[in-house]
Chains A and B, each alone.
Chain A
Amino acid sequence: MSTAMNVRYLRRRFWNIFNLGMAVAMTLFGLFWLVWILWTTLSYGATALNLELFTADTPAPGSIGGLRNAFVGSLLMIGVAVLIGTPVGILAGTYLAEFAQGSRLAGVIRFFNDILLSAPSIVIGLFIYAVMVVPMGNFSGLAGALSLAILLLPVVLRTTDEMLGMVPGTLREAALALGAPHWKMIVQVSYRAARSGILTGVLLAVARISGETAPLLFTALNNQFFSMNLDKPIANVPVVIFQFAMSPYPEWQHLAWAGALIAAMAVLVLGLVSRFLIKDRSPR
């Protein structure tokens, strides 16, 4: 009897150790991919880095060049997307947190905002293609910026909603008790209290859209030449990376890796900065 108990105990111990060991192994496995991918990007990208990247435009096949037009185009489109998407996202988030708190409508909007947040970006690109590129008759940087703005909007909305929700009610009541109108209370008290949190949301959203490729394929397309005209197709880093990486020319592939490294660095730096902002907030 006691040996049976003992066997049973040993079996339970074995499975405990085995499964926990597997959990550790899985974690290491996950980290292994991270290291492998980052190492690949770094080693391929670093050899292709040079100053010409920022001074020359995308070259014809077989010749040397840089990515200047792509960087400029990407920055332009991201900038316009932020200008459009951020105010919309912040104001919409304000409605959920300040006016419709706890109402059924707010619940519905939150629910569908989360769906929009996870919706495939390629579908958003198709949507802008259907409602903007087709009627206007040509691909344009503005269409690209708009599709990026739609991808940015739900992230900003959600963080604004969450961050305003964390502002203590007593702060609001204090402002209202002093006779401040509702909108003024929101602008001067709630926004101020949630400022860094909202900024974090914007940074996270920018990190998300700066690597987006799929929606730009149907909206901004690409442009071999330097252009700052948002009415016409415009070069951008992700689509250039896509085209160059898929091409058979080694010079183009090198440029693709350099672009990939810079895009990855930008995204990681944005992520780190926003993380730092969150940390900076929490003790207060």
Chain B
Amino acid sequence: MDDTRGAELGMGKAAVPSPAVPSRIGLVRSRRLHVMDRGFRWLTGGLAFLVLLLLVGVALSLFVRGWGAFHHFGFAFFWSEAWDPVTENFGALVPIYGTLVSSLVAMLIAVPISFGIALFISELAPEWLRQPVGSAIELLAGIPSIIFGMWGLFVFAPVLGRAEPWLNDHLGVLRGIGALFRGPPMGIGMLAAGIILAIMVIPFISAIMRDVFLVVPTLLKESAYGLGATTWEVARHVVLPYTRTAVVGGVFLGLGRALGETMAVTFVIGNAHDLHISLLDAGNSIAAALANEFAEAFSPMYKSALMALGFILFIITFVVLVLAKLMLWRLGQGQEKAGL
């Protein structure tokens, strides 16, 4: 900084030093600083804007690359279950179905478990236990997804495969949902993918639930306790209603994660381009299809169909994540309004 100051002083000397304009030096200097300030502001602002550009760029580039498939197959692309690289007949139904169903299974498992964990950490656990349990659950979120995949394929799927005959015999005979549990006991398949996705999103959902449970005003809870409510009744009738939108937002955030999760699903979903009702059968998800087939897709139409799948995945997760953020945001808004 010293040499710039020297330069400025030098400049001041070169200009006629006049007592009438004592701020001359200051003026030159302040203009230069002004330029620096403006420049810094523009630089940081431009880079912040880059985030928006990136999102638009992702959507645009995927759409452009997928346009060949969208154009060629028309709307039938969305409900055709064909996937034949040889005859170049592609449809997105099987991967979309697999993505949605595996994520739905994951949510059905993960939401109650996350609620239990959040309840335990926020309301039940003694003070000294909260931090360690919370950190341990968060550790689960840090494990790379490919390790979930390997564990799923080599360790978990064989165990599940041994349990599946039991599912066949007991749940498979039920009317209605029974069809979901009749199938070959291979271990890998939609159910395995759903369970592993559930394990992966539990840390996200439970962390959000715990955080929003902790913002419930003590006053509200104490009032309910004062009326003689049990801990469960306070959780069910005070904490949950108060945080409802944020809880749903957290669930949606987890859903967004599950929909786009790639590696873990690729290992265990079975990568079969067939539509099955049974959860025990092999299926496919958008992300798994991309991970498995992209390197082998040499024809332009094949590539384009995969890109179109990527675009669909982006749009689905984008909508889910926007909904999630809006719901989480509303809790904060409501609190401000209530003056809490």
Residues of A near any B CB (own CB < 8 A):
12-13, 15-16, 19-20, 22-27, 29-31, 33-34, 36-38, 40-41, 44, 88, 91-96, 98-100, 106, 108-109, 111-116, 118-124, 126-127, 130-131, 134, 150, 153-154, 157, 181-183, 186, 207, 210-214, 217-218, 221, 238, 241-242, 245-246, 256-257, 260, 263-264, 267-268, 271, 275
Contact = CB atoms under 8 A, between A and B. Distances in A.
A213 B262 contact: yes
A111 B134 CA distance: 26
A94 B154 CA distance: 45
Contacts of B314: 119-120, 123
Please list the 7 inter-chain residue pairs (A to B) with the smallest Cβ-Cβ separation, ordered nearest first.
A120-B260, A211-B144, A26-B116, A95-B44, A16-B230, A183-B40, A214-B262
Interface stretch (B78-86, B214-222, B275-283, B288-296): B288-296
A27 to B, nearest CB: 4
Interface of B: 33, 36-37, 39-41, 43-45, 47-52, 54-55, 57-58, 61-62, 64-65, 112-117, 119-121, 124, 133, 135-137, 139-140, 142-151, 153-155, 199, 202, 206, 230-233, 235-236, 253, 256-257, 259-263, 266-267, 287, 290-291, 294-295, 307, 310, 313-314, 317-318, 321-322, 325
Contacts of A267: 142-144
A210 B58 CA distance: 22
Contacts of A30: 113, 117, 137, 140, 202, 206
B147 A264 contact: yes
Contacts of B291: 122, 214, 217
Contact of A123 (B115, B121, B233, B313): B313
B50 A119 contact: no
B327 to A, nearest CB: 13
A94 B290 CA distance: 36
B148 A122 contact: no
A4 to B, nearest CB: 17
Nearest to B121: A27
Nearest to A117: B321
B117 A26 contact: yes
Contact of A120 (B39, B48, B231, B287): B287
Contacts, number: 251
A86 to B, nearest CB: 12
B33 A214 contact: no
A150 B50 CA distance: 11
Nearest to A18: B232
A241 B57 CA distance: 30
B71 to A, nearest CB: 17
B36 to A, nearest CB: 5
B315 to A, nearest CB: 10
Contacts of A13: 230
Interface of B (DSSP majority class): helix
A37 B143 contact: yes
A231 B283 CA distance: 36
A37 B148 contact: yes
A182 B37 contact: yes
Contacts of A264: 143-144, 147
A17 to B, nearest CB: 8
B62 A130 contact: yes
24 contacts: A19-B235, A19-B236, A27-B121, A30-B113, A30-B117, A34-B139, A41-B147, A44-B154, A109-B49, A109-B52, A115-B55, A119-B321, A120-B317, A130-B61, A157-B48, A157-B51, A186-B40, A211-B144, A211-B146, A213-B263, A238-B144, A263-B146, A268-B143, A275-B135
Contacts of B144: 210-213, 238, 260, 263-264, 267
Contacts of A114: 321, 325
Given A116-B51, A126-B290, A37 B37 contact: no
B40 A182 contact: yes
Nearest to A181: B33
B49 A16 contact: no
A197 B143 CA distance: 22
Nearest to A41: B147
